[in-house]
A and B are shown apart, each in its own frame.
Chain A
């Protein structure tokens, strides 16, 4: 997924990132009304955080002319393709990486 060039990093409420690289996470499966950057196909899927990009104003609020606060930590999350697509026919080693904001991620075991 192309990284979000539209939202420059901004200082917000300085909370430490909830997740660190290497941690397993699950994407929230909730539906959403209006703009959001989390594609449907990864909702509810489990992956691994591989990078913490930084803190960005929240596009879900910026889209409606709000200040985009509190800012959200943006992570790069890696998924196994066979986890994302139940009928995936490619190699078991195939992966996909998606940038996902913190409020869409939940811890998993």
Chain B
């Protein structure tokens, strides 16, 4: 866990070495104009049903979503989270894991709802990267597009 970086596609591809297949953009033959997430019935090959233990950042992502959408906070709804994820292009949608989709959406939604500015999020991420680098952990340089 300590060697893992936070929520990047690069991290997932590293994880691929330990068994999970590398994620690639899938061709959507006959999709007929549907959104990139709505793939039921398209020829996508067998479903990967393998399970994995959740990383700490994945559990934290889940907790953040629950807190932000809880009745006391209502920063947005889970419908809003789905909307942001469904708006991803096919490449992003297909090449990200479940919680990678969530953490990207949460990041954008806190800015969209003006809980934090984009500059504040980026400054915080830079500070976290620095902290991990100073502790001698491997830190991803990947930039996740907004």
* Chain A residues with a Cβ under 8 A of chain B: 5-7, 31, 34-35, 39-41, 59-60, 62-65, 68, 84-85
30 CB contacts below 8 A, A to B, read A6-B77, A6-B78, A6-B79, A7-B77, A35-B79, A35-B82, A35-B83, A35-B86, A39-B38, A39-B40, A40-B32, A40-B41, A59-B77, A59-B79, A59-B82, A60-B79, A62-B77, A62-B79, A62-B80, A63-B79, A63-B83, A64-B80, A64-B83, A65-B76, A65-B77, A65-B80, A65-B113, A68-B77, A68-B79, A85-B41
| Residues in B whose Cβ lies below 8 Å from that of A7 | 77-79
Question: Which residue of the partner chain, among B32, B38, B82, contacts A63 with CB atoms under 8 Å?
Answer: B82
A35 to B38, CA, bound (A): 11
Whether A6 touches B41, Cβ cut-off 8 Å, given contacts A34-B83, A63-B82, is no
| Residues in B whose Cβ lies below 8 Å from that of A60 | 79
In contact, A63 and B77 (Cβ under 8 angstroms) = yes
| Residues in A whose Cβ lies below 8 Å from that of B34 | 40
Summarize B's interface: helix, strand, loop or mixed: loop
B145 sits at the interface (CB 8 A): no
B108 sits at the interface (CB 8 A): no
In contact, B113 and A41 (Cβ under 8 angstroms) = no
Which of A41, A63, A84 has the most CB atoms of chain B within a 10 A radius of its CB? A63
A66 to B126, CA, bound (A): 33
Output the nearest chain B residue to A59 by Cβ-Cβ distance. B79
B43 to chain A, nearest CB (A): 11
A41 to B37, CA, bound (A): 12
B33 sits at the interface (CB 8 A): yes
B69 sits at the interface (CB 8 A): yes
A90 to chain B, nearest CB (A): 14
Question: Which residue of the partner chain, among B32, B69, B113, contacts A6 with CB atoms under 8 Å?
Answer: B69
| Residues in A whose Cβ lies below 8 Å from that of B76 | 65
A83 to B76, CA, bound (A): 37
| Residues in B whose Cβ lies below 8 Å from that of A84 | 41
| Residues in A whose Cβ lies below 8 Å from that of B33 | 31
| Residues in A whose Cβ lies below 8 Å from that of B77 | 6-7, 59, 62-63, 65, 68
